[in-house]
Chains A and B, each alone.
Chain A
Amino acid sequence: MIVSSSSDEALLLAARRDADAFAEFYRRHARPLAGFLVRRTGDPEAAADLLAETFAAALSGLGRFDPARGDAVAWLYGIARHQLARRARRGSVEERARRRLRMERLELTDDDLRALEACDDATIALEGLPPDQRAAVHARVVQEQDYAAIAAASGSTEPAVRQRVSRGLATLRSRLAREEHR
């Protein structure tokens, strides 16, 4: 049984045999990663291709994920950066992992492009925060986890997590207010 409070690492290990664990991992990270890719490429279509290829490569490479060598998010973003670098070198997005899994290329509608771009806005807002605040805000607001679960997953206490979330949100609010005045 996959609980939503499972750590990313536990999910990836379970995902080798359990498709639902992989789905949960995907749902946690697809949008933030899409935001990261849109930001890095400036092109939502390329970002969608990179997103699909990255998760396809992650799915094919689950057996190579080793929690002793780094956390799950770092592993996922490592794959994404590798795909970004390949695209920069070759001028096109790699399709190897998708082909191996027989995944067809995603056709994008205007709504899809808008959804991808919206991920970018959220990432930009979060990226300026200190890492501990960013992680806490992301877990609480984007993933809607409860404080106890976030505390357990990050080896911290509930009051500490609450403080990080509230500080992070306060920073975001003041930054948005500043931008509106520009």
Chain B
Amino acid sequence: MTVFDRLEAQLLAAHPQHARRHVPRPAPRRIVAFAAAAAAVAVIAAAALSAGSSSTSTPAAQPGDAVAPVVPGKTTVAILNSTRTPGLAGQVATALAKRGWKIGSVTNGPDQSKKSSCIEFTRGHAAAASQIADQLGIETVRPADTVTPVVDIYQRLAGPAVDVIVVVGADRAR
């Protein structure tokens, strides 16, 4: 990251739109979180049973994840090319569009030296992220907020209305 990228990240973190997010929140209400997690497990189990043959691995539900069935046409996926190989993000976008996902930003990631691809999801989209991970054969799936505690640079590049972000690394340049 150049000095310009770092300053940009600082400024964005300080923008009221983001700064507000970092006001300390009251402690999570455990019962609700537990109930949501339990519900998520139930839905996933049901999905796995009904899907039968398909093997779906899903990351642990995040507290606060809304549990809703995955509708690819209503799930916006952004794709960030984090390699120096041009066109990789476009290839992934085409593959996902064929499977019915709604494609959002397709653009360059903040750095062009990522070795392995990963997928991030915003709140409520863990199940969609894991479906996409299976379709693309990407192992790393994580919630979007954990990358940079101050401001998630992937999420910012991907745009405000994004549900799932695919960060394309060099492992897809084959």
Contact = CB atoms under 8 A, between A and B. Distances in A.
Interface of A: 15, 17-20, 22-23, 26-27, 30-31, 34, 48, 51-52, 55-56, 59, 101-104, 106, 108-109, 111-112, 115-116
A111 B3 CA distance: 9
Contacts of B4: 30-31, 34, 115
Interface centre among A19, A104, A115, A116 (most CB of B within 10 A): A19
Interface centre among A23, A34, A108 (most CB of B within 10 A): A23
A103 B3 contact: no
Interface stretch (B8-16, B32-40, B77-85, B122-130): B8-16
Interface string B143-174: 00000000000001001100000000000000
B55 interface: no
Main secondary structure of the interface of A (DSSP, over half): helix
Contacts of B16: 17
Contacts of B2: 111-112, 115
A26 B8 contact: yes
A111 B1 CA distance: 10
27 contacts: A17-B16, A17-B17, A18-B17, A19-B156, A20-B156, A22-B12, A22-B15, A23-B156, A26-B7, A26-B8, A30-B7, A34-B4, A48-B7, A55-B7, A59-B11, A59-B14, A59-B15, A101-B14, A101-B19, A103-B14, A106-B3, A106-B6, A106-B7, A106-B10, A108-B3, A115-B2, A116-B3
Interface centre among A22, A27, A109 (most CB of B within 10 A): A22
A54 to B, nearest CB: 10
Given A34-B4, A104-B10, 20 more contacts: A17-B16, A19-B15, A19-B156, A20-B159, A23-B11, A30-B7, A48-B7, A51-B7, A52-B7, A56-B11, A59-B11, A101-B19, A106-B3, A106-B6, A106-B7, A108-B3, A111-B2, A112-B3, A115-B3, A115-B4
